[in-house]
Amino acid sequence: MSFDLVLFGGTGDLAWRKLMPALFQAFRHGSLPKDGRIVGVARDDLSDDQYRELIQSRFNAVEGAKRPSAEEFEKFASLLHYLRMDLSKPADYARLADLLKQRNADTVVMYVATAPALFTQVVEQVAAAGLNGPATRIVLEKPLGHDLASNRAINAAVCKVFEEKQVFRIDHYLGKPSVQNLFAMRFGNALFEPIWRREHIANIQITIAEDLGVEKRGAFYDQTGALRDMVQNHALQLVCAIGMEPPINSHADAIRDEKLKVLRALKPWTSETLGLHAIRGQYTAGTAYGERVPGYRDEPGVDPESRTETFVALRTEIANWRWAGVPLYIRTGKRLASRDARIEVNFRPTPHAIYRAPSGAVNKLVINLQPKDGLELHMLAQAQDNRQRNGHSAAQLAPVQLDLDFDKRFGAERVGAYERLLLDVIDGRLNLFVRSDEQEEAWRWVEPLIDSWASDGGPRPYAAGTWGPSASSAMIARDGFSWGEEQ
């Protein structure tokens, strides 16, 4: 099978930090079809060789083992080409058409990794140049829009010229091995399904914590914020993976139908819950790993009076028969105490206690997304010398855990998220991509938060290197629970 992969934004941050390393890994693993071209597109005047040199120099910034040797890069570089285009100029698309017609590849992937403001124009001009035929697949990066209306406008423009099956809306969390294993755990094993419901689960917590600040992306982040950058897409996709009903089969639409139902079942916001169950914060100067770090408003590119949130904590509920009454907490932020993304499913305590157990200790399933990739099942067990040590009739239990580390079990050289998703696009597999109705529903749910935050007192300050504003802990404490790291 032959393919052309056109990377609009081929010199950008996403291209060199994520996409090129992922394509190289796919090449190294032998999974990239041999007969292919990867065409970087941007406005700089570069030859193919200059583009190859640029990408090679950028690879040097990629960590350790994933860095290609000179020989490896040379082989990979033969796939790389460059096309100078100004995507805002319709005339430039004719040159793209000429380049693609040289080969008429079986599959043409157009990856739109440019500023979201260009998305609609790119899609329209690609179609105007006659490049939207059945061989073409278009990949759209997040955030797709700034709110519900802009998301609808982009999706309407896309759906006018492409069929839904040609559109790959990327959410790279869905490509993470642990998220795929969450699906495998739930729908490939009979063990968890009977207890995966309100009768047995006390609460669910999703944490996506970053220890870094906004780095060099201050200007972008200040227009976006944590709600749009993390909650509307990644966190809500995790909610779907945790909350959805078993799909009737593994086809893309069967999975996406079930995810859509979860989004539709999320409790709508009311003026009361907007006040009590939605906390946002912004980091001030603090300490990260022993070093003083600046506050958000002092970061390059950020408005010194910015009201943009760098932290969000929400409490919601999936209002259906399986989940009614089970609190679902979502928390994400920058400059938090550690880099840690995980889902915790906290089970209810035993109905009658015949053992003594540490206070608050319950069964818990933890799905670790980063930095570690795996599953932990937290249980209570009796230590062997228990009776001799304390001499009580009711034995004391101690927390223990079954730990499945996917890197150790399956090898650390497993397929990464972008690698997996890029290969899926080339193969035409839509399972791990987001359908337009899912995306709209997610925007619809976050929109009341956007509206109410536009006119309130602004985000609460929290010191860099902490777990966010204290209001976040107070919110969960009102239900009698605490965040994982506080237990």
Catalytic residues: 234
Closer to ligand NAP by Cβ: residue 10 or 416: 10
Minimum distance between the CB of residue 117 and ligand NAP, rounded to whole angstroms? 9
- CA–CA separation, 315 and 99 (whole Å): 51
336 DSSP β-pair partners:
466
Report, in Å, the least distance between residue 409 CB and ligand NAP. 29
Residues in the chain, total = 487
For residue 419, state whether it binds ligand NAP (rule: CB under 6 A). no
As measured in angstroms, the least distance from the Cβ of 80 to ligand NAP is 14
Residues in region 14-43 near ligand NAP by CB under 6 A: 14-15, 42-43
Q: Which of 105, 113, 138, 326 binds ligand NAP (CB under 6 A)?
A: 113
Shortest Å distance, C-beta 312 to ligand NAP: 17
Binder of ligand NAP out of 21, 116, 225, 416 (CB under 6 A): 116
Bridge partners for 374 per DSSP? 368, 405
Q: Which residue has the tokens 């228990």?
A: 386
Task: Give the residue from 71, 68, 82, 97 showing the smallest Cα distance to 39.
Answer: 82
Query: Among 310, 265, 309, 321, which Cα is nearest to 458's?
Result: 309
475 scored as a contact of ligand NAP (CB under 6 A): no
Closer by beta carbon to ligand NAP, 143 or else 374:
143
What lies within 8 Å, CB to CB, of 249 at 6+ separation is: none
Instruction: Give the count of beta carbons closer than 10 Å to the beta carbon of residue 53.
Output: 13
Among the listed ranges 10-18, 50-58, 127-135, 159-167, the one in contact with ligand NAP (CB under 6 A) is 10-18
| Shorter beta-carbon distance to ligand NAP: residue 46 or 108 | 46
Per-position x/- string for 124-153, each x denoting binding to ligand NAP as judged by CB under 6 A, each - no binding? -----------------xxx----------
In degrees and rounded to multiples of 5, residue 374 shows phi and psi of 180, -170
In the bound complex, what is the minimum distance in angstroms from residue 334's beta carbon to ligand NAP? 13
- Chain residues 37-96 in contact with ligand NAP, contact rule CB under 6 A: 42-44, 85-88
What is the phi/psi pair of residue 307, to 5°? -110, 15
Least Cβ distance, residue 92 to ligand NAP (angstroms) = 8
Residues binding ligand NAP: number (CB under 6 A): 21
Binding to ligand NAP by residue 12, rule CB under 6 A?
yes
- Residue from 13, 72, 106, 253 binding ligand NAP (CB under 6 A): 13
Contact 365, 345 (CB under 8 A): yes
Contact 59, 73 (CB under 8 A): yes
Q: Between 118 and 395, name the residue whose CB sits nearer to ligand NAP.
A: 118
Q: Give first-to-last CA distance, the chain, whole Å.
A: 53
Q: What are the residues whose beta carbons fall under 8 Å from the beta carbon of 108, sequence distance 6 or more?
A: 3, 4, 5, 6, 100, 131, 135, 136, 137
Instruction: Report the distance separating Cα 396 and Cα 452, nearest Å.
Output: 49
Piece of 11-19, 96-104, 261-269, 282-290 that binds ligand NAP (CB under 6 A): 11-19
Instruction: Pick one of 3, 9, 59, 422: the residue that binds ligand NAP (CB under 6 A).
Output: 9
- From 5-13, 243-251, 257-265, 359-367, give the range in contact with ligand NAP by CB under 6 A: 5-13
**Separation CA 377–CA 271 (nearest Å):** 37
Residue nearer to ligand NAP on the CB measure, 142 or 315? 142
Tell me the closest approach of the beta carbon of residue 220 to ligand NAP, in angstroms: 7
C-alpha to C-alpha distance for 368 and 345, rounded to whole angstroms: 11
Centroid of chain to Cα 120: 23
Among positive and negative, which fits the CA dihedral 417, 418, 424, 428? positive
Closest residue to ligand NAP, based on beta-carbon distance: 12
Binding site for ligand NAP (CB under 6 A): 9-15, 42-44, 85-88, 113-116, 141-143
